[in-house]
Amino acid sequence: MRQSYELKATRRDRVGKGAARAVRREGLTPAVIYGDKKDPLPISVSSKEVTMKIYGGGFLTHVATIDVDGEKIKVIPRDYQLDVVKDFPLHIDFLRVSDSSVLTVMVPVHFVNQEKSPGIKRGGVLNVVRHEVELEVNAANIPDSLEIDLTGLELGDGVHISHVKLPEGAAPTITDRDF
| pLDDT for the residue numbered 68 | 94
C-beta of residue 110 within 8 angstroms of C-beta of residue 145: yes
Q: Please say if the pLDDT value at position 169 is more than 90.
A: no
| pLDDT for the residue numbered 24 | 96
pLDDT level of residue 2 (50, 70, 90 thresholds): low
Q: CA of 87: how far to CAs of 6, 27, 52, 95, 122, in Å?
A: 22, 14, 12, 23, 44
As a whole number, mean pLDDT of residues 148-154 equals: 93
d(CA 169, CA 143) in angstroms, rounded, equals: 11
Q: Please say if the pLDDT value at position 45 is more than 80.
A: yes
pTM score: 0.81
As a whole number, mean pLDDT of residues 118-140 equals: 92
Q: Where are the domains positioned within the chain?
A: 5-96, 102-172
pLDDT above 70 covers a percentage of the chain that reads: 98
Q: Please say if the pLDDT value at position 109 is more than 80.
A: yes
Digit-coded pLDDT (tens) for 3-37? 688 999 999 999 999 999 999 999 999 999 999 88
C-beta of residue 119 within 8 angstroms of C-beta of residue 96: no
**C-alpha dihedral, 28 to 92 to 52 to 134, nearest 10°:** 180
Q: Which residues contact 172 (CB under 8 A, 6 or more apart)?
A: 133, 134, 135, 136, 161, 166, 179
pLDDT level of residue 144 (50, 70, 90 thresholds): confident
| pLDDT for the residue numbered 61 | 86
CATH of domain 5-96: 2.40.240.10
CATH 2.60.40.10 for the 102-172 domain, yes or no: no
Rounded mean pLDDT of the chain?
92
